[in-house]
Amino acid sequence: MVDRRPSSVLISAEQLQRRVAELAAEIRADYPENLHIIAVLKGAFMFMSDLVRFMDGSVSMDFMAVSSYAKGTTTSGEVRLLKDLDMSLDGKDVLIVEDIVDTGLTLTYLQEILRARNPRMLRTACLLSKPSRRKVDVAVDYVGFTIDDHFVVGYGLDYAEQYRNLPYIGLIET
Sites of contact with ligand 5GP (CB under 6 A): 43, 68-69, 75, 98-107, 151-153, 157-159
CB of 162 to ligand 5GP, least distance (A): 10
Cβ proximity to ligand 5GP: between 89 and 111 the closer is: 111
Cβ proximity to ligand 5GP: between 68 and 111 the closer is: 68
Measured in Å, how far apart are the chain's first and last C-alpha atoms? 15
CB of 168 to ligand 5GP, least distance (A): 13
Rounded Cα–Cα distance for residues 169 and 45 (Å): 14
Rounded Cα–Cα distance for residues 92 and 35 (Å): 7
Rounded Cα–Cα distance for residues 9 and 141 (Å): 26
Using CA of residue 49, residue 50, residue 51, residue 54, what is the dihedral sign? positive
Cβ proximity to ligand 5GP: between 90 and 112 the closer is: 112
Per the residue annotation, which of 50, 56, 93, 102 is the catalytic one? 102
Q: Note if 102 is an active site residue.
A: yes
Cβ proximity to ligand 5GP: between 59 and 101 the closer is: 101
Contact between residue 29 and residue 57 where contact means Cβ atoms under 8 Å apart: no
CB of 140 to ligand 5GP, least distance (A): 10
| Exposure string for 57-70, b = 16+ CB within 10 A, e = fewer | eebebbbbebebbe
Rounded Cα–Cα distance for residues 105 and 136 (Å): 7
CB of 153 to ligand 5GP, least distance (A): 5
Q: How many CA atoms lie within 13 A of 13 on its CB side?
A: 4
| Residues labelled catalytic | 102
